[in-house]
Amino acid sequence: MQSDLSEFESRIGYSFQQRELLIRALTHKSYSHEAKNNALRDNETFEFLGDSVLGFVIGDLLFRRFPELDEGAMSKMKAYLVSSTSLARKARDYGMGDVLFLGVGEEKSGGRKKDSLLANLFEAMLAAVYLDGGIDPVRNLIQQSFTEDLEAIDADDLLFQDYKTALQERAQGRGLPLPEYNVIDEVGPDHDKRFIVEVRVGSHVTRGEGTSKKEAQQQAAKHALRELVEDA
């Protein structure tokens, strides 16, 4: 086990001075309950602290990378970056699930592969690094974990494909009527149907197409956003 944890430390690029912090970060409540050892504490409160540390560092990174953006835009970027799906992917990249201490029942139910569990584990690990070494090493770990994500962010697409919300906010900001969506056509067989949706914002009318009404609405909103920006 010690060898496995040393390999894990190499993967995250941090060696713990207080090994008990690492052990606690890796201890799921199902394991500590089954162990019936009062001295063995689980990682739930670590998740709380790790979430706070992650939020602070990601907020700082976004602020420095996009100083021209407003609070709303950066909040949406932050929510995208720290979603459960995103954090679970980070945990898998480091092989955190492989060294997690799980109870028998959770093990049998595939706990090592659950997004929610892995996301919580990632946050717990950040807390452990912070408690062991302070803000600098945990900032380094977060930065290396999210470098590709931060570089891939398109500052012109602030809502990450939630174009309907973006269009509504843009319309309200310009004093225009709220967008109105209408399905104007359905084409193709039932197993491969495509929907065509029209969105009207004041005098602007654009269309979008998709395999579902929701997707078609998003595409229509995306085109409408471009028109509003060009017409500004």
Residues 198 and 222 sit within 8 Å (Cβ to Cβ)? no
CA 54, CA 149: separation in Å to the nearest integer? 14
Question: What strands, in cross-sheet order, belong to the sheet with 194-201?
Answer: 180-187, 194-201, 204-210
Q: Does 20 participate in catalysis according to the annotation?
A: no
3-state secondary structure at position 180: strand
Residues 161 and 131 sit within 8 Å (Cβ to Cβ)? no
Please tell me which residue in 42, 47, 106, 123 is annotated as part of the active site: 123
Please tell me which residue in 42, 51, 106, 132 is annotated as part of the active site: 51
Q: Does 136 participate in catalysis according to the annotation?
A: no
- Give the side-chain half-sphere CA count within 13 A for 188: 11
74 closest CA partner among 64, 84, 83, 63: 63
CA 131, CA 8: separation in Å to the nearest integer? 18
Which residues are bridge partners to 197 per DSSP? 183, 208
Catalytic residue annotation: 51, 123
